[in-house]
Amino acid sequence: MGLLTGAELWSVAIFFAIFLLLVDLMHRRHRWTARYPPGPMSLPVLGNLLQVDFQNMPAGFQKLRCRFGDLFSLQLAFESVVVLNGLTALREALVRHSEDTADRPLLHTNDHVGFGPRSQGKCRKRQTWQEKRQQKQTATGWTEDPTVVIKTNVVIKWDRSRKEDEALRPKCGLPGVLQAQYGSAWRQQRRFSVSTFRHFGLGKKSLEQWVTEEARCLCAAFTNYNGRPFSPNTLLDKAVCNVIASLLYACRFEYDDPRFIRLLSLLRDTIDEESGFLAMFLNVFPVLLNIPGLPDKVFSGKKAFMALQDELLTEHKMTRDPTQPPRDLIDAFLAEVEKAKGKPESSFNDENLRMVVADLFMAGMVTTSITLSWALLLMILHPDVQSHVQKEIDEVIGQARCPEMADQAHMPYTNAVIHEVQRFGDILPLGAPHKTSRDIELQGFLIPKGTTLITNLSSVLKDETVWEKPLHFHPEHSWMPRAAL
């Protein structure tokens, strides 16, 4: 077979260009409907990728908001995106249409680094015509309509317009909790995680005791510097990670433990990889992930982190006694895995366990550690606020005992300071992306099913119409003195 000549190459190139343009037109056809949110003019194939400031997206979105309003659209290659700004738009989307916007966009990179759909509940393979005929003979109410779910020899037909039936549709997407596709598997995992955390006085130590003990170790580590200047970030990471480890593994690591240090290092690498521009670019153009060796090179930190998690999980399983009450979340999850044997539709399996553990580590450690760093910095910069907080602590808790959750109700100013730290710190300005599971109407605009939603939380946390001093640290935003109550 000979090589293509110049003329033939031109023909192939022209055919490929026309094919890309047709695909691009197919993905952006809804942008020309009358009620679709406005947005900047996009280029063929690339869309608005060259117009988005990925180094400072909140500031770039604020400029676009001034031009197009609280709802505006973007085209990121073949991905249709609508950005929500302002309290009214976010409340309407996330509260009024909570179920319709609870889905998550697919992250194609997960499938290419070994964390695919199977972890969210196994997808049923396509049936042969003989199997279908057998199902037809044994089931009642058979229909040839393709919108049918076959589940344990029972045929269930759903109506796409009914929310309660949407959960019956088999859905295979990302595993875990944070990036899981909205449906029965996600609800199952969320219900399990919330109930397990809520009832975790089952083990030898409650969460409050773990936090108190870890705070004592953290203060001791601070004291070891004897007044010398130091950066607290690494110690805060270790303390928060230990609290999460106590929930997952019912143990804590020493701060100088080599494996613990490696775990934190790989966790930081994983977060940097997933939040970087390259990961975003590969999710926009997933065809590039088929290049041999590219996913392993780009996400080497994540693969190493998951390998270390697998090692810790294996050790934990070896020490588990099924006859005893669960020591931690992993034990409780393994108990559910045993109950789910023979139920292929269940999301309780070993693959999902490793992703749930990874989700809790990544989401819990980073957000809490950065918030604590902001709190320390703001207390240094605002000694008057620090003095007021210390005075309230001395009055309610004193110096003789450790703080308890019950003290929270008697410390309104400290609570207000914590809320203001979270508002001013604004550590997740764009939140986690959402995806519409059906057509919805927001502020008069029609958002089609399958559209990715970016929630600009910074537009709410720094909104001049909501806050008295949005660009300043001002605990009075959330505090009302007792005399005014």
Q: Which of 263, 254, 249, 256 is nearest to 213 (CA)?
A: 254
DSSP track, 151-201: ETTEEEE--TT-HHHHTTS------SSTTPPTTHHHHHHHHHHHHHHHTTT
Indicate the burial class of 266 (C-beta count within 10 angstroms; 0-12, 13-18, 19 or more): buried
Phi, psi torsion values for 9, nearest 5 degrees:
-65, -40
Q: Find tokens 């044994």 and name the residue.
A: 138
pLDDT at residue 480, as a whole number: 55
3-state secondary structure of 104: coil
d(CA 439, CA 396): 51
Could you tell me which residue, 198 or 21, shows the higher pLDDT?
198
d(CA 271, CA 370): 13
Q: Which of the four pLDDT bands, split at 50, 70 and 90, describes residue 12?
A: low
Q: Which of 412, 426, 417 is nearest to 461 (CA)?
A: 426
Residue 141 has pLDDT above 60, yes or no: no
Candidate from 43-47, 57-61, 70-74, 136-140 with smallest mean pLDDT: 136-140
pLDDT at residue 201, as a whole number: 54
Residue 309 has pLDDT above 60, yes or no: yes
Q: Hey, how many other C-beta atoms are within 10 angstroms of the C-beta on 184?
A: 17
Cα angle at 447 between 35 and 433, to 5 degrees?
Answer: 145
pLDDT at residue 273, as a whole number: 82
Structure tokens at 400: 């003789």
Contact 239, 373 (CB under 8 A): no
pLDDT at residue 31, as a whole number: 64
Q: Which of the four pLDDT bands, split at 50, 70 and 90, describes residue 414?
A: very high
Tell me: the pLDDT tens digits for 160-211?
A: 344 443 333 334 444 566 666 777 777 777 788 777 777 665 444 567 888 8
3-state secondary structure of 115: coil
Beta bridge partners of 456: 85
Q: Which of the four pLDDT bands, split at 50, 70 and 90, describes residue 134?
A: low
pLDDT, mean over the chain: 79
Q: Which of 107, 149, 112, 144 is nearest to 129 (CA)?
A: 144
Structure tokens at 298: 């780009």
DSSP letter, residue 180: P
pLDDT at residue 9, as a whole number: 67
| Whole-Å CA distances, 473 to 81, 263, 273, 324, 380 | 32, 34, 31, 49, 12
3-state secondary structure of 79: strand
**What average pLDDT does the segment 438-457 reach?**
92
Contact 270, 96 (CB under 8 A): no
Tell me: the pLDDT tens digits for 245-261?
A: 888 888 889 999 999 99
3-state secondary structure of 84: strand
Taking the alpha carbons of 416, 422, 426, 432 in that order, is the dihedral positive or negative?
Answer: negative
pLDDT at residue 482, as a whole number: 42
3-state secondary structure of 403: coil
Q: E strands, 86-166, where? A: 148-151, 154-157
Strands 445-447 and 440-442: antiparallel
Residue 136 has pLDDT above 50, yes or no: no
Q: Long-range CB contacts (< 8 A, 24+ apart) of 89-93?
A: 89/442, 89/443, 90/455, 90/456, 90/457, 90/460, 92/442, 92/443, 93/434, 93/440, 93/442, 93/453, 93/455
d(CA 453, CA 101): 8
pLDDT at residue 272, as a whole number: 84
Structure tokens at 64: 């676009």
Q: Which of the four pLDDT bands, split at 50, 70 and 90, describes residue 10?
A: low
**What average pLDDT does the segment 154-160 reach?**
38
3-state secondary structure of 413: helix
Residue 132 has pLDDT above 80, yes or no: no
Tell me: the pLDDT tens digits for 327-374?
A: 888 888 898 888 888 777 777 888 888 888 888 888 888 889 999 999
Tell me: the pLDDT tens digits for 367-403?
A: 899 999 999 999 999 999 999 999 999 999 998 888 8
Tell me: the pLDDT tens digits for 26-43?
A: 656 566 677 889 988 877
**What average pLDDT does the segment 103-118 reach?**
67
pLDDT at residue 386, as a whole number: 96
Residue 303 has pLDDT above 50, yes or no: yes
Q: Which of the four pLDDT bands, split at 50, 70 and 90, describes residue 159?
A: very low
d(CA 53, CA 50): 8
Q: Which of the four pLDDT bands, split at 50, 70 and 90, describes residue 97?
A: very high
Amino acid at residue number 293: G
Could you tell me which residue, 238 or 274, shows the higher pLDDT?
238
pLDDT at residue 417, as a whole number: 95
Amino acid at residue number 200: F
Q: Which of the four pLDDT bands, split at 50, 70 and 90, describes residue 152?
A: very low
3-state secondary structure of 477: helix
Structure tokens at 372: 């604590």
